[in-house]
Structure 1
């Protein structure tokens, strides 16, 4: 019994460390599939929900595949961040290390301390699961530096078969217009779990009267 309790404690400490190192805020750690509201949401949002749940369930078997990643692309306010946070939280509860990289804030932090660029890039390359949220978001024009870091990270993970979770308002064609090498790698990694959420304001839960 004591051995069993010791194992349980070690497992819990490993899970706690995964959450602590993820850079996922306490508020985002509350995002689950159970508290994602489907309500009268469009069919594409339901598709994204089921896609994310299926990905979470099948994740351990996907690790050996090149197609081991997921991308939810399209309209703002459609629940992309919530669903991929739910995936992240489930994976961390299983002991996987997840690193959350919100595109705008993440690059702002890197710009504030360029001496840490190599270390931050290495961590994004090596962590078990990398979640890039709102990829290519921002009012300012995309910089060569951002593309260089993004390609270094995605290409490394592509070659090493390390999964990524990606949310973006851009679709694959638009990402390829920015950098075809980057877009084609994301497409191949996520091809079995890729949902495009296209439509009008009805997709944005923040504008809903429900």
Structure 2
């Protein structure tokens, strides 16, 4: 006995085939109008289901990564700031550094695209199936402190160590609490030659010892970062200033 379309949809839902439910009627019309054979329509329905599942999986991976938004390398206006290390950035976009367990240090002036590039690489890694963890530096340190206070430090450290790619964004953008040097060293030592870490900062390396308050720790920390690492320097014009100027211009034009 054949099923009606509503009955088929109900059966597909019970089998958790929501991707097929979404396109069932459209595929049926394609068969009825002889645009597709039965086998072609069935193949398309299976592909619809696979696409839906992949989309949901990527959404879950993105949500658990901690990324605040979906930034991409295609969004960068390379012509606006030709001093960017474009070749090196695009090479990192191949994500070979993750498989090689190499680290990346992005240094430079505020607004020149360091965080955007880090988030773009993280999004590429999410799409490629890597486990990604993104945190602003002060948030990471706050979460470590909270985990210690609640007795969950081992679990949180395991979460950090288990990420194929960890992004520590905007290091030194805010004043770090005492003990941050030890915490940061613990994170990086636990991942050394085991997984990849990207760090962005607008402060030159020469300032790190003073900012962390522990010159003894900074030297081996940087040594491990750079042993199998990539150092990219960001210079030139600020995108944030450009966007602020454009917003001001639009506001002035609107007021007129």
Q: TM-score, normalised by structure 2?
A: 0.65
Of 193, 196, 199, 1:166 maps to 199
Identify which of structures 1 and 2 has the higher relative contact order when contacts are C-alpha pairs closer than 8 Å and 6+ apart.
Answer: 1
Measured on the aligned residues, the alpha-carbon RMSD in Å equals 2.5
Residue 130 of structure 1: SS of its match in structure 2?
Answer: strand
2:76 to 17, 21, 36: 36
Conserved in 2, the CA contact under 8 Å of 1:69 and 1:165? yes
Higher Cα radius of gyration: 2
Q: Deviations over 1:125-183 (max 9, x none)?
A: 1111101101233135x522x222211221121142x1111111233343364611111
Residue 26 of structure 2 is matched in structure 1 by none
Summarize the Cα distance change of 1:99–1:151 in structure 2 as closer, same or farther, 3 Å threshold.
same
Distance 2:137 2:88 in 1: 23
How much does 1:187 deviate? Answer: 1.5
Give me the whole-angstrom Cα distance separating, in 1, the residues matched to 2:49 and 2:78: 40
Q: 1 CA distance for matches of 2:224 and 2:46?
A: 45
| Aligned twin of 2:175 | 139
Structure 1 unmatched runs, 5+: none
Q: Which runs of 5+ in 2 are unaligned?
A: 1-42, 210-214, 247-256
Distance 1:11 1:135 in 2: 34
Post-superposition offset of 1:71: 1.7
How do 1:57-68 and structure 2 match up within 5 A? 57=94, 59=95, 61-66=96-101, 68=102
SS at match of 1:95: coil
Q: 1:189 aligns with which of 216, 223, 228?
A: 228
Match of 2:218 in 1: 179
Name the residue aligned to 1:22: 65
8 Å CA contact retained: 1:14, 1:95: no
SS in 2 for 1:123: helix
> How far apart are the structure 2 equivalents of 1:72 and 1:110?
23
**Cα 1:112–1:157 shift into 2, 3 Å:** closer
The offset of 1:17, in angstroms, is: 2.1
